[in-house]
Structure 1
């Protein structure tokens, strides 16, 4: 005989079953469906999914056949044999007012040596002295063991030149503004950006991952429209708006156009709509303003109203590297946040010494050097306007000008012909080149850069050659 049924056990089982039914009733329907789906999925994986077939071991003959059939993709796409990169000119010696290309001397209107500091003997002597004292490099980032006293001297010198509290130097001009922007502007912030900015600024804007609002090049009305739209949007959610930082990203003198930004109106809008101004003066530093202080001096704008000014040491100064100036609060942030500063080996001391001596010359020359450059820029501008068939882009005082052909004649092919023709007449000029991934591609143009040492006769010769080339290209 089996053991008698325990009534307590039966009662407990009934209670447990009743509790289970109650819990099912209280469970949301979607939860039950999800659990049933998971159970069915597990059952399918266990019972019905077919195991992966074991790979067949290939014979040596089959392996060799596969190897013979494989065709690797080319490392680079096919390149036109006429591509400029495959037909380079070889320069020999100092790239100054005149240069030697393929063994032939010519006037140089192609490099950013505005003040003719490249090859300046006084600057070269200071660089040689720095090599003898410090060697050729520091071999380390600034924050570790790469800071030398001459770096601090250059930073202090730049801050004093612009009348700001502090300056900071970078080892490479391109990485300066490309590192500065993402050091301040983050994913939830807003950048109002002129669509005509040069490539290094574009890379900084892209690296920030911020919301970008592009306005038409040098169009203050379009900028104000975007600011008003954003202000209206912010008023709908003031709490969220209070956490968003806003920056205006501009150039003083635009590299791709040769024109100057309307800075006074932008400063007015700054206080109306509450944004910070970051201005890159790579081209305008050392070229614009009575003493070369750039667009703030040209427009007579209080420099303290600009939150940060960046520039390069590779154009007017004739050295290497870049810098930024601003308040101590702004500059100190970069020392721990700007990647180009934190992770790059510091500027070689000889280049810092060269930059300091260039600044000394700029201060000693006071207004004479820059008045001469702007005066020659105006004269060249007028001479270019007198050549019928060309369009001259840029301000008359700008030493950087863009020259294009009128109407439908303005093609890369015709401009390249003009460049090649000018080289046969011992004039070196170049086409403004852009990468395909740039945000806004300007129209094709020849970029002319004036050296302050160019004489009126040499400027007249340039215009004569351009006129002769135009006749030939339009014949």
Structure 2
């Protein structure tokens, strides 16, 4: 006796082999039936077609194809009618596509033939055609106004300059805050470097353009700022642009202040990252945006670590002359896990007991900032830019920073000037920490406060101008050494307002003071932004008044009175 399960195991192979034998026997019988045609009265069309093809009667076989296809179609309809429906629809669709395409091409040819122009019509169109202007007409008018406003320095001595051969004027428009541009020690350092290295570096840093003085510049600044590393660029603008584009890529997120300068904005555009803008110096609006991004993460089940996220801002805004709420920004970036890129271009050498910038003035360690940008021009009287950060941040840019890899390194004498200026700044910083009024930093910070107080005292604000610093930031504790004054009653026409400001600056020059016009509106408002980039508020034309450490109280008072007289003369308003 065998159990049922064992019987099935034993008999299953036998049954399978028997089935295979049965199938083979049936196929053999069919083939023999097909070969022995004399024993068959009528063959099926398919069998007859195969037999005719085998016997070499190919024409007969081809004639039997329609009968075979009809029989196959009938059999398919009996066995699976749904297949017949699907295949019929597909066949009809193919026929429609073929014939409809031919008809459409015929219509196009007929339309083209109907639209064919005669030689006379072609000549007429050519005569009437006018090329589109390369730039908008409005930009041309603005450029013409800018050319009329341009003044050229023909001679400079200390804080006195001559414009277009005029009498010596007190320079109240430049950014040489610490008088480094005319410092004899810096001139001597430049001459010594020229004799040793020659004029140019003749190559990028990574391609035989690095000179020992470039390495010394990076090491000295990193040590002075208490940063891990520093990387030097030949230009401050390319430093800002290159740093952002080196870290933020497509798919990453940049949260920017609405009033950031043009180099930072260009870096955001080149990065191709997603960009969100918060209201200028508004920490509450920044918080709102960061919360919205966090809510969107939860909604889309997206991890914050899936993209790199940065906050980009300036310490002292070039287009606002006000100071960022750095402590609030640091708190928010740490709370939401963002990185911070801070541009200290105009705050280095100006703010803080040692002139290290806004982070020192507000008691924030530089390690809390992921990338700090420095301009060597405003305070040190040199040319170039530096980025300071951790080892990873700096070394990454040596291979990924376009401004470092593909631009020629700074001329050696420029780096020598920056190093000598840093020595002077460090020696003056010790006096400033001791509250010595004779230190350069102390004088500069006192003059910055005196300038704003003097403008308010003479009634220049708000009767003639609006102080952007006051309108955008109520806190006036930070000694920013320049002021931007926009017209209190602008015409809303950029060329007209630019002409008015030019006339006021020329009137001030007749009184002995050289002031500048910040023409950011001409460049930035006409700059085409890619789709998806947030709409930023337009920049304003403004007169820029600057002070420096070499100015004294009497000169600042005279400047304020001269601006009042110039505005009163041009605007024809009596006080």
SS of structure 2 residue aligned to 1:136: coil
> How many residues are paired up?
469
Offset at residue 63 of structure 1 (A)? 10
Q: 2:348 aligns with which of 264, 275, 285?
A: 285
Tell me the equivalent position of 2:155.
Answer: 93
Offset at residue 24 of structure 1 (A)? 6.2
Offset at residue 149 of structure 1 (A)? 1.4
Offset at residue 86 of structure 1 (A)? 3.7
**Structure 2 CA distance for aligned equivalents of residues 70 and 356 of structure 1:** 59
SS of structure 2 residue aligned to 1:50: helix
Tell me the equivalent position of 1:113.
Answer: 176
SS of structure 1 residue aligned to 2:364: coil
Asked if 1:102 is matched to 2:188, the reply is no
Greater Rg, structure 1 or structure 2?
2
Q: 1:164-205 CA deviation, whole Å, 9 max, x = no partner? A: 111111112212111211211122122111111111111112
Offset at residue 380 of structure 1 (A)? 2.0
Q: 1:206-244 CA deviation, whole Å, 9 max, x = no partner? A: 222222221111111111111112112212234353312
Tell me the equivalent position of 2:518.
Answer: 432
Tell me the equivalent position of 2:22.
Answer: none
Tell me the equivalent position of 2:436.
Answer: none
List gaps (5 residues or longer) in structure 1. Answer: none
Q: 1:401 aligns with which of 483, 486, 492?
A: 483
Residue pairs, 1:290-439, within 5 angstroms: 290-366=353-429, 367=432, 368-391=439-462, 392-394=467-469, 395=476, 397-406=479-488, 412=498, 414-434=500-520, 435=523, 436-437=525-526, 439=536
List gaps (5 residues or longer) in structure 2. Answer: 1-42, 50-63, 433-438, 470-475, 528-535
**Structure 1 CA distance for aligned equivalents of residues 514 and 105 of structure 2:** 76
Q: 1:83-123 CA deviation, whole Å, 9 max, x = no partner? A: 13145323113375111112221001111111111122211
**Structure 2 CA distance for aligned equivalents of residues 216 and 6 of structure 1:** 84
Asked if 1:227 is matched to 2:290, the reply is yes
Asked if 1:452 is matched to 2:542, the reply is no
Tell me the equivalent position of 1:466.
Answer: 563
> Residues 41 and 102 of structure 1: is their aligned pair in 2 closer, same or farther, counting only changes over 3 Å?
same
SS of structure 1 residue aligned to 2:302: helix
Asked if 1:139 is matched to 2:202, the reply is yes
Highest relative contact order (Cα 8 Å, sep 6+), 1 or 2? 1
Offset at residue 5 of structure 1 (A)? 9.9
SS of structure 2 residue aligned to 1:239: coil
SS of structure 1 residue aligned to 2:407: coil
Offset at residue 355 of structure 1 (A)? 1.0
Residue pairs, 1:12-31, within 5 angstroms: 13=69, 25=85
Offset at residue 66 of structure 1 (A)? 8.4
Asked if 1:40 is matched to 2:122, the reply is no
Q: 1:245-301 CA deviation, whole Å, 9 max, x = no partner? A: 211111111111221111111111122111011100110011111111001100001
- 1:181 and 1:205 in contact (8 A); partners too: yes
Q: 1:294-343 CA deviation, whole Å, 9 max, x = no partner? A: 01100001210110101211211111111110001011111222222221
> Residues 33 and 14 of structure 1: is their aligned pair in 2 closer, same or farther, counting only changes over 3 Å?
closer
Offset at residue 469 of structure 1 (A)? 2.2
TM-score when normalising by structure 2: 0.74
- 2:45 and 2:68 in contact (8 A); partners too: no
SS of structure 1 residue aligned to 2:182: coil
TM-score when normalising by structure 1: 0.88
SS of structure 1 residue aligned to 2:298: helix
Residue pairs, 1:211-290, within 5 angstroms: 211-290=274-353
